[in-house]
Structure 1
Amino acid sequence: MTLLTGRHCYNALNPLHSMIYFAPEAEAEFHSLGLSRGSMSYFAGRSAAMGRVGAGTVAATFYNFSPALIARYLPRAWDLATPDAVLAARLRAVEAAQQRTLGAETMAGAEVREAAELALRAAEACTAAGRPLYAAHAELPVPTEPHLALWHAITLLREHRGDGHLAALLDAELDGLEALVTHTATGRGFLPAMARSTRGWSDEEWSAAEDRLRGRGLLDADGALTDAGRQVRQEIEDRTDRLAEAPYRHLGEAALARLGEIAARLSAVSAANGAFPEGVFAFSTTGARAAR
């Protein structure tokens, strides 16, 4: 198995998880608990597996969000809804969003069941040391319904990879905002305006990060990556792949190819049925690796 094969499978799987961050069903469920729509629902929904964590913990584990933005909503969200209630609401939202984007027949089909079994088998090889978001989600029970078990397994694989990605960013000496700026400069994932608004950074903060990166020779005068900047980003991706390879190697080549095949087909159906809004990603959501 090559690292590229593992990354291809991850890229096929990831949209089936990340659709929840754009699903109106999620905001409706969280709002019914008393959480405000938008950032509060996102921060609470994704961090609830860690318990009643504060803004500092979420800023550290989410990495590229403005700490000031997070502090507007956490820990206040936990006075409105308990983490357990948020986790239950999140699963209800996942099921409703899957109904809309995949359809009941697909959700109940043999391929979803097979993909869930394969993804859960892959997740058996994930390791928790140094991976706080993965570790928190790994302590949650596996849903009994195959379509929810698939989403849970993909969540484990996603957070496992994401935690390793942060280690690679730290090794490259990029802070959260610099990581976001250089990622958008690759032309992958979020468009710059969307990255700034959803991550809570001001134009001044963004410009200051660009200046720091220019000082290191990673950005040119127009904000594009230099050769050195492209090399740094490639090294980050390569290291992330190495740190994330264990679950995909655990599957073996045939099962890995099968999981990637099913996931790509399901992700394409989901995207075609409106899983992601227009004007968010720089290219196809089935290939996008949005910055954390």
Structure 2
Amino acid sequence: MDPHLAGRTARLLEPLHALGYFAPEVDHEVSSVGVRKGRATYFASRSAAMGRVGAGPVAATFYVFNPSLVAHFIPAAWEASSPEDVVAARYRGVSAAWTRLLGEEALVSDAVEEAADLARTAAAGCSVAGRPLHAAHADQAWPEEPHMVLFHAITLLREHRGDGHVAALIGADLSGIEALVTHTATGRGFTRAAAQATRAWSDEEWSSAVRGLAQRGLMSVDGELTDEGVALRTAVESRTEESAFPPWEHLGEAGTTRLTELCRPPVTTALTNGAFPAGVFA
């Protein structure tokens, strides 16, 4: 099958997973079991599938976040609640958010049920080897409601791809902050201000990363990617695409195309109904 179709499908599905990081329903449900409202609910809800782990494993799998930021929330979240309760709360919150954004009638439609079956088939083609965040989510029980089966499958596919991306970054000898700096420099990622604010890297840490990359010939001292830097980023993205391909090959081209057709309308509806702050998934 066309590998570009797999990448396009993964990017199309991403908002249906990522909206859970912005939805007030998730913040409400996770905070209702004891986790502090705000950024703590993100770190707790996404890492809870790994169990009562410390800040180290979470920082390792989240990769581009400053480890000191992770340590601010983990393991404090597990002193306030249990990972099992947080997982359940996250899924309740996502279900409520999908209901608000897409409408209850859409969630019980034949289209969502078919999409859930297709996405679950794709997820069955994922390998857990070397993919800790994906493997932790794959250990969770499948939900029963079709729309939550779809969410869970998309989550498995997303974390499978993300773990593979981290492996590609490590293979390219890019640290978490270097990965963020180089991605921002492509013009396709965050702005520097947004990257630093959300991932908690200081001006000095950012500048130090730029200097180190410049010494390697990957960036200019003013933060522009060199030809070698562009080539390295291109290689990282290509390796990420390659390692994320097996589940889509497992589903097949016809199934992948059909999943795209089924999920485009709810993605459009979610975006139209304000699933994200301005500028996210624009």
TM-score if structure 1 supplies the norm length?
0.93
**Shift in alpha-carbon separation, 1:10–1:191, aligned structure 2, 3 A:** same
Query: In the alignment, is residue 102 of structure 1 matched against residue 102 of structure 2?
Result: yes
Partner of 1:195: 195
Cα deviation digits, residues 206-252 of structure 1 (max 9, x gap) = 11111111222222343232222111111111101111111000111
Distance across 1 between alignment mates of 2:213 and 2:110: 49
- Amino acid of the residue matched to residue 162 of structure 2? G
Partner of 1:14: 14
Partner of 2:53: 53
Cα deviation digits, residues 173-232 of structure 1 (max 9, x gap) = 000000011112222243322221111111111111111112222223432322221111
Distance across 2 between alignment mates of 1:22 and 1:220: 35
- Amino acid of the residue matched to residue 146 of structure 2? P
Partner of 1:135: 135
Distance across 2 between alignment mates of 1:153 and 1:128: 14
Distance across 2 between alignment mates of 1:103 and 1:126: 30
- Amino acid of the residue matched to residue 209 of structure 2? A
Distance across 1 between alignment mates of 2:77 and 2:29: 14
* Counterpart secondary structure, 1:72: helix
RMSD across aligned positions (CA): 1.3
- Amino acid of the residue matched to residue 266 of structure 1? P
- Amino acid of the residue matched to residue 86 of structure 1? V
Cα deviation digits, residues 250-285 of structure 1 (max 9, x gap) = 111111111122222221111111111014x4xxx1
Distance across 2 between alignment mates of 1:28 and 1:77: 15
Distance across 1 between alignment mates of 2:193 and 2:167: 26
Partner of 1:289: none
CA contact under 8 A between 2:3 and 2:245: conserved in structure 1?
Answer: yes
Distance across 2 between alignment mates of 1:192 and 1:142: 38
Partner of 2:176: 176
Cα deviation digits, residues 38-82 of structure 1 (max 9, x gap) = 221111100000000100000111101111111111111101010
Partner of 2:117: 117
Distance across 1 between alignment mates of 2:188 and 2:265: 21
CA contact under 8 A between 2:2 and 2:253: conserved in structure 1?
Answer: no
CA contact under 8 A between 2:211 and 2:221: conserved in structure 1?
Answer: no
- Amino acid of the residue matched to residue 57 of structure 1? P
Partner of 2:273: 273
Query: In the alignment, is residue 224 of structure 1 matched against residue 224 of structure 2?
Result: yes
**Shift in alpha-carbon separation, 1:31–1:105, aligned structure 2, 3 A:** same
Spell out structure 1 runs of 4+ moving beyond 3 A. none
Partner of 1:210: 210
Distance across 1 between alignment mates of 2:174 and 2:272: 35
Q: CA deviation at 1:29?
A: 1.4
Q: Number of paired residues? A: 282
Identity over aligned residues, as a percent? 54
Distance across 1 between alignment mates of 2:189 and 2:151: 21
Gaps of 5+ in 2: none
- Amino acid of the residue matched to residue 266 of structure 2? L
Partner of 2:90: 90
Gaps of 5+ in 1: 287-292
- Amino acid of the residue matched to residue 155 of structure 1? T
CA contact under 8 A between 2:210 and 2:221: conserved in structure 1?
Answer: no
Query: In the alignment, is residue 77 of structure 1 matched against residue 53 of structure 2?
Result: no
Q: CA deviation at 1:108?
A: 1.4
Distance across 2 between alignment mates of 1:270 and 1:226: 38
Distance across 1 between alignment mates of 2:22 and 2:35: 16
